[in-house]
Structures are given as C-alpha cells and as structure tokens.
Amino acid sequence: MSGGHRHAVLEELFVRMPHVFRADRAGSLQAVVHWRIGDRPDGGSDTYQLVIDGGRCVVSAQPDREPALVLTIGAVDFLAVVTGNAHPVVLAMRGKLRSKGDLGLTAKFPTLFDNPKP
C-alpha cells in the first residue's frame, strides 16, 4: 500500500462504500466521518470523508466538513478492516486504529457497513 497503485486501490474501496452501506442500521443518523489512511510513501496520510445523512452514504476524497469522528489507521490494517479480515475493535485495542470524536458513533460505525462481496 505504499506503491504506485495505492491511490487507485483506496479510490476503489471508498467508491464501493456507499454500496455496502446499511441504511436500515443507520436510521436517522447524521454524521461526518473522516478516514485518515496512513503509510503513504512520503510519510503522510490520505483523508476521505463519509457523509451519512438521510439513509445515504456519500464519499469524497476532498474533505470539506467538520467531522464528528476521525478514524486513523495504517493502509494495510485499513484493507484488512474493509475486507472483513480484521475487526475494528481488536485493532483499536491494539492501538492500530485510533478514533477521535463521538464515542457512540465509534461503537456504531462498524455495524453500518457489510463486508464487500466479490
């Protein structure tokens, strides 16, 4: 995840998030979540914004809203989470996933998405 395909892989994963979003579990939730994906070759991170509102999830690579929750994770661990190969709670307990902001949303967030199907 530090090579030349990083951007394309992250873009594809985030583009798919609205398709695995569980509006039935979100109910009337309104929230802005920023994912900060670390381990970029220059030492930085990529930030993606998810806006959950009205039973919809909209993703943007250009964050423009104040987040209620910021999730910070390394790129490989992010891949493991979104593919269902790692549980966010376990990663948080190991210090590999950090959350800042709304603790209630932090607990609910993993239930709002299904694992992608091939």
pLDDT digits (tens, 9 = 90+) for 14-38: 999 999 999 999 999 999 999 999 9
For residue 98, give the H/E element and its range. Answer: strand 97-101
Phi, psi of 29 (to 5 degrees): -55, 135
pTM score: 0.91
Can you list the alpha helix ranges (DSSP code H) found in the chain?
6-20, 23-26, 75-82, 88-93, 103-108
Closest by CA position to 54, among listed 28, 17, 19: 28
- SS3 at position 23: helix
Helix, strand, coil shares, percent, the chain, to 5: 35, 25, 35
Closest by CA position to 30, among listed 61, 73, 81, 69: 69
Paired tokens of 15? 């583009």
Kindly give the confidence (pLDDT) of every residue in the chain, 118 residues in length, as a single tens digit, with 9 standing for 90 and above. Answer: 777 889 999 999 999 999 999 999 999 999 999 999 999 999 999 999 999 999 999 999 999 999 999 999 999 999 998 888 888 888 989 999 999 999 888 888 888 998 766 5
- Do the beta carbons of residue 70 and residue 100 sit within 8 Å? yes
CA distance 107 to 86: 15
